[in-house]
Structure 1
Amino acid sequence: MTVGAQVKACYASIKSAEATLMSLKGKSSDPEAREALEGAEKMMVDIKADLKKQVIYLSQEEPQYKS
């Protein structure tokens, strides 16, 4: 598996984790749990944005990593 493919797979996993956190947050009735899930969701958004930049970089600047 190329580096580009690994980064893309990681990006997909983060998107899935973010969706799961959003779902759990919506189902939770405990305010503390909702707050914790919201914090984790915000971290996932930041991580996802960073990975997206890396995917774009690898696709444009490093043609050997295209998958």
Structure 2
Amino acid sequence: MTGFTLDLDDSQFEQVKSQLVAKYGAGKLDDGMKDEQCLYRNGANFKVTSGTKTTQWRQHVSPTEEGIDLAD
């Protein structure tokens, strides 16, 4: 496998991440989440969180392992 992408809510993300961390280690986290205050003209405000979190795991393989077909 070269990679995959999942679109998860926060609780699903944490569950999948904990399973991957248990098997492959911590990985490299890139947390691009940002909080922004939105203000109404009457002075009321609220916070909006947006962005993405990604975690990347890499495993280097030898040139001979690159050609192995795991489907067999």
TM-score by length of structure 2 reads 0.29
Higher RCO (C-alpha under 8 Å, 6+ residues apart): 1
The structure with the greater share of residues assigned to strand is 2
Larger radius of gyration: 2
TM-score by length of structure 1 reads 0.30
